[in-house]
Amino acid sequence: MLRFLPLFLLAVPAQAHTGHFGELAGHDHWVLGAGLGAIAGAAAIAWVKGRRKKDEPEEPSEEADTPEEAPA
């Protein structure tokens, strides 16, 4: 366990919140927040639309209307 300790300590500086990615692009934290909000909004809209499709009753298929023939 002790020989893995330096590896754990090396990874600690890499743990940054998502706001620093916006700084790398030359933008402020609010730009990234707006982007994450847009993504969350798109996911919510897709979830609601997907839910509506499941609530609609299925149309009966043509195969269900024709009686099955018994094998000879």
Summarize the confidence of residues 54-60 as an average pLDDT: 61
- Average predicted confidence (pLDDT) for the chain: 70
Task: Kindly compute the dihedral angle of the four CA atoms of residues 52, 57, 62, 64, in this order, to the nearest 10 degrees.
Answer: 140
39-51 pLDDT, tens digit per residue, is 999 999 998 888 6
The structure's pTM equals 0.37
